[in-house]
Amino acid sequence: MTNDTPRQTTSEEPDPKLLELLVCPVTKGPLTYDRAARELISAKANLAFPIRHGVPLMTVEAARSLDEPAAPSTATSGTTPPR
């Protein structure tokens, strides 16, 4: 059996063909792949869907709001309140 389709060697990267097919589960709109953050971004829904071990987690519960800072802001560079 011959497979002419090249497979990716890293398990952390999602399949590019899969990324072309996925849409936002909230808006049904397009997603943008942020490789550095390993997230799929839905600008319309203002959500970022994480990618874990090469698998996009496409639930609203797994997503983070783009309003949430991904890194500590320089404006609030003090202590963070306990959770």
Q: How far apart (Å, rounded) are the C-alpha atoms in residues 63 and 50?
A: 6
Provide the domain limits for residue 45.
16-65
32 SS3 class: strand
CATH number at residue 35: 2.20.25.10
Q: Is residue 23 part of a domain?
A: yes
Number of compact structural domains in the chain: 1
pLDDT at 10: 57
Q: Is residue 25 part of a domain?
A: yes
DSSP letter assigned to residue 83: -
Q: Is residue 72 part of a domain?
A: no
Sequence-distant contacts of 22-27: CB under 8 A, at least 24 apart: 22/56, 22/58, 25/58, 25/59, 25/60, 26/60
Q: Is residue 45 part of a domain?
A: yes
Confidence of residue 68 (pLDDT cuts 50, 70, 90): confident
Which of 46, 43, 48 lies closest to 59, judged by CA? 48
Q: Is residue 78 part of a domain?
A: no
pLDDT at 17: 95
pLDDT at 12: 82
Q: How far apart (Å, rounded) are the C-alpha atoms in residues 40 and 57?
A: 9
Q: Is residue 83 part of a domain?
A: no
pLDDT at 3 over 60: no
